[in-house]
Amino acid sequence: MLTMQFARAAWKFLVAIKDGLVLIAMLLFFAALYGALSARPNVAAVSEGALLLDLNGVIVEEPARPDFASFLSGSQNDITEYRLRDVVRAIDASAGDDRVKAVVLDLSLFMGGGQTSLTSIGEALARVKEAGKPIYAFANFYSDDAYQLAAHADEIWMDPMGGIIFAGPGGNRLYYKNLIDQLGITAHVYRVGTYKSAVEPYLRSDQSPEAKEASAALYAVLWDSWVGEIKKARPDANVEAFARDPAAMIQAAGGDYAELAMAQNLVDKIGDRVAFGRFVAEKVGTDQTPSPDDFKAIAYDNYVAANPLPTSGDAIGVVTVAGEIVSGDGGPGIGASGRISEQIYKALEADDIKALVVRVNSPGGSAFASEEIRLAIEDFRKKDIPVVISMGDVAASGGYWIAAAGDHIMAEPDTITGSIGVFAVLPSFEKALGKWGVTADGVQTTPLSGEPNFVGGFSEDLHTVLQSGVENSYGDFLGLVAKARDKTPGQIDEIGQGRVWDGGTARQLGLVDSFGGLDDALKEAAKRAGLEDGGYHAKYLEEPLGFGWWALDGLPFAEDRERAPVNGIFGWVAQEQQRLFFQALNTAQGLMARQDVQALCLECGAVNPVAGFRQDIRLFDLLRSYSSSAAPR
């Protein structure tokens, strides 16, 4: 009897679980259906008003695909990613659209982008001004990236309790040699290149003189370019003096950041968000809502959807290599060689592709994966189809490895490129385990039996094998670049050695053929393919997210969680501290994660902070949650 009662209870319990799972599945289905029906941008909603660019995130070359596992666990990335070409297209479309009376930049939650990307957006904003349309900018706090965009506005507003700081490129990197020694870890580093400083954090406690020399030269060019862009857009702004001695200026202003910003002509008006909204409403009209600060706004997503990419004329294929280059089929948002190579080969089979533009915005990565992509591009050239390389913010190491396959390489003056060098890092733990009495011994049939020995340490034979392999990879790198640039391997070695160059210097050295952005690369590709001016369109070789991901993106409970804006100097310092700690853990993780020879420019992250920010976003969430819970209430 007891057995039967137990069986009935167990059966009822299992049925209850089954019914619960079915209910959850139905709820998810209908929620997804709701999201699919409501999330699509509403083209019909575009009416007269101000185009509102509330950039609540980062500018990227290629947005990453939503992570379903993170979504289910509630730790999804809440940092919005804006595709660079979409932002530029929307701004350019507004210049000739009579419905758009002004462009409004809301930069309070803006997290930045690469300097070259922001310059492209700035140039689009300048075209709007040339068309006679006003631009208004607002933020609680302005740092370098936000101000690079705001400088193009007719009026810059700042909150009375806000602030402004120009930090410039550069700063400190973290070095782990002392920590590694204390933990008893041995970092076996194999590299070629005097300037390949990506491995220095594992070998030194400070920056080498060679790395300092290369970094100083690069930072100086980027800073001068940033200042030049600001001065051109806003000639009266006292940028250089403020950046040179901010402490003295702020002290002289009695700590009143708003007064200082006005005195140095960095902003035009001091006012909170409500006052700014009322000001814009006076210019473009008031929305039909009870609040007087609501102006007629055209939503960014709706406007992008209302201005799709052109499809007339011949097709020029565009393949994007964005993020760290890895083997496999990951992405988008990461340079997965399997996925990108497949896109290239599919385009090669298509009859409508008359030329190919490869957009590279990557610090490099796996040499093997870089070569896989390069070979796929080479097959295009074998078919006498012209290939033009377009470099974005950074196209270094493996990014340049890929670029060498092009008929013509284009970059911007501020593009970070070069870094022709390779390395590999492998750890062993014989010192750490030895402290606990753990040793290793055994019988070998060959000199490499049991290698790599992460417990007993690496043998000299293994060191020789690994270093020789890295040197061979570097020789391959030199050879393919030398052949592509019509130089000798020795000439490339002189400008290689892992050194990073700005785009202007790279052009002088022969690593780049001409300056220009993506549109210029399309024009160059069209000319080489014999296409008429204006008789072509870009065909982006990328897969849409599909119904499932698109629907999930619109779920009411999958919306971005509210993220607090930076509300002044202290908030900016706290955010930078979090970012630095985040970077330290990611760099340490990289010691174990990278499994083959790397043509990777880790130091590029110092001048392109967007690179790699997607890695382990859960940690970023954890840090922010901790800082919020630790704050005084």
Average pLDDT along the chain: 81
Tokens 């003295």 correspond to: 248
Residue 252: helix, strand or coil by DSSP? helix
pLDDT grade for 547, boundaries at 50, 70 and 90 = very low
pLDDT value of position 413: 95
Among 115-124, 319-328, 435-444, the minimum mean pLDDT is found in 435-444
Average pLDDT over residues 1-28: 62
pLDDT value of position 575: 54
**pLDDT exceeds cutoff 50 at 621:** no
Which of the following is catalytic: 101, 133, 196, 354?
196
Residue 559: helix, strand or coil by DSSP? coil
For residues 632 and 8, the model is more confident at 8
**pLDDT exceeds cutoff 90 at 191:** no
Among the listed residues 77, 26, 112, 109, the one whose alpha carbon sits nearest the alpha carbon of residue 553 = 77
pLDDT grade for 144, boundaries at 50, 70 and 90 = very high
pLDDT grade for 120, boundaries at 50, 70 and 90 = very high
Query: What is the C-alpha to C-alpha distance for residues 110 and 112, in angstroms, rounded to an integer?
Result: 6
pLDDT grade for 619, boundaries at 50, 70 and 90 = very low
Query: What is the C-alpha to C-alpha distance for residues 610 and 603, in angstroms, rounded to an integer?
Result: 13
Helix ranges (H only) for 135-292 are 144-150, 177-183, 200-203, 209-233, 239-244, 246-252, 257-263, 273-284
pLDDT value of position 119: 96
The rounded radius of gyration (Å) of the Cα atoms in the chain is 27
Query: What is the C-alpha to C-alpha distance for residues 67 and 549, in angstroms, rounded to an integer?
Result: 9
Among 125-139, 172-186, 604-618, the minimum mean pLDDT is found in 604-618
Among the listed residues 402, 324, 325, the one whose alpha carbon sits nearest the alpha carbon of residue 357 = 402
For residues 277 and 604, the model is more confident at 277
* Catalytic site includes residue 354: no
**pLDDT exceeds cutoff 70 at 426:** yes
**CA angle 549–545–535, rounded 5-degree value:** 155
User: Structure tokens of 270?
Assistant: 């001091």
**Cβ-proximal residues to 547 (8 Å cutoff; 6+ apart), any chain:** 36
pLDDT value of position 82: 94
Beta bridge partners, 142, equal 164
**pLDDT exceeds cutoff 70 at 315:** yes
**pLDDT exceeds cutoff 80 at 604:** no
* Contact call for residues 228 and 122 (beta carbons, < 8 A): no
Among the listed residues 341, 597, 602, the one whose alpha carbon sits nearest the alpha carbon of residue 475 = 597
Query: What is the C-alpha to C-alpha distance for residues 165 and 265, in angstroms, rounded to an integer?
Result: 14
* Catalytic site includes residue 231: no
How many Cβ atoms from other residues are within 10 Å of residue 492's Cβ? 24
**pLDDT exceeds cutoff 60 at 563:** no
Highest mean pLDDT range out of 226-235, 285-294, 458-467?
226-235
Among the listed residues 356, 399, 347, the one whose alpha carbon sits nearest the alpha carbon of residue 381 = 356
**pLDDT exceeds cutoff 80 at 242:** yes
pLDDT value of position 465: 83
**pLDDT exceeds cutoff 70 at 347:** yes
**pLDDT exceeds cutoff 50 at 633:** no
For helices 617-630 and 569-593, angle between their N-to-C axes, nearest 10 degrees: 140
Beta-sheet strands, E only, within 295-407: 297-299, 314-322, 325-326, 335-336, 353-362, 364-366, 387-396
**pLDDT exceeds cutoff 60 at 570:** no
Query: What is the C-alpha to C-alpha distance for residues 139 and 162, in angstroms, rounded to an integer?
Result: 8
**pLDDT exceeds cutoff 90 at 606:** no
**pLDDT exceeds cutoff 50 at 205:** yes
pLDDT value of position 602: 59
Average pLDDT over residues 546-553: 46
Highest mean pLDDT range out of 5-9, 165-169, 439-443, 599-603?
165-169
Average pLDDT over residues 317-330: 90
Amino acid residing at 81: E
pLDDT value of position 79: 77
Helix ranges (H only) for 383-459 are 398-403, 430-435
**pLDDT exceeds cutoff 90 at 113:** yes
**pLDDT exceeds cutoff 70 at 453:** yes
**pLDDT exceeds cutoff 60 at 616:** no
pLDDT grade for 625, boundaries at 50, 70 and 90 = very low
Residue 84: helix, strand or coil by DSSP? helix
Average pLDDT over residues 414-421: 93
Beta bridge partners, 164, equal 142
CB-neighbour burial class of residue 234 (10 A; exposed 0-12, middle 13-18, buried 19+): buried
Helix ranges (H only) for 40-114 are 68-73, 84-95
Query: What is the C-alpha to C-alpha distance for residues 80 and 60, in angstroms, rounded to an integer?
Result: 10
pTM: 0.83
Which pLDDT tens digit goes with each residue over 15-42?
667 666 666 666 665 555 444 444 466 6
Among the listed residues 597, 608, 194, 583, the one whose alpha carbon sits nearest the alpha carbon of residue 398 = 597
Average pLDDT over residues 363-371: 90
For residues 490 and 450, the model is more confident at 490
**Cβ-proximal residues to 238 (8 Å cutoff; 6+ apart), any chain:** 264, 265, 266
Query: What is the C-alpha to C-alpha distance for residues 260 and 250, in angstroms, rounded to an integer?
Result: 7
**pLDDT exceeds cutoff 60 at 398:** yes
Residue 487: helix, strand or coil by DSSP? coil
**pLDDT exceeds cutoff 70 at 579:** no
pLDDT value of position 598: 67
pLDDT grade for 7, boundaries at 50, 70 and 90 = low
CA 619 to chain centre: 18
- The percent of the chain in helix, strand and coil, each rounded to the nearest 5, is 50, 20, 35
pLDDT value of position 630: 38
**Pairing mode, if any, of strands 135-142 and 100-106?**
parallel
pLDDT value of position 87: 97
CA 480 to chain centre: 27
For residues 613 and 53, the model is more confident at 53
Measured in degrees and rounded to the nearest 5, phi and psi for residue 540 equal -80, 125
CA 528 to chain centre: 30
* Contact call for residues 233 and 124 (beta carbons, < 8 A): no
Which of the following is catalytic: 117, 225, 397, 428?
397
The continuous run of DSSP H or E covering 261 comes out as helix 257-263
**pLDDT exceeds cutoff 80 at 220:** yes
Amino acid residing at 68: F
Among the listed residues 577, 159, 549, 539, the one whose alpha carbon sits nearest the alpha carbon of residue 357 = 539
Query: What is the C-alpha to C-alpha distance for residues 586 and 607, in angstroms, rounded to an integer?
Result: 17
**Pairing mode, if any, of strands 100-106 and 598-600?**
unpaired
pLDDT value of position 38: 46
Which pLDDT tens digit goes with each residue over 464-517?
888 888 888 899 999 999 999 999 999 999 999 889 999 999 999 999 999 999
pLDDT value of position 542: 82
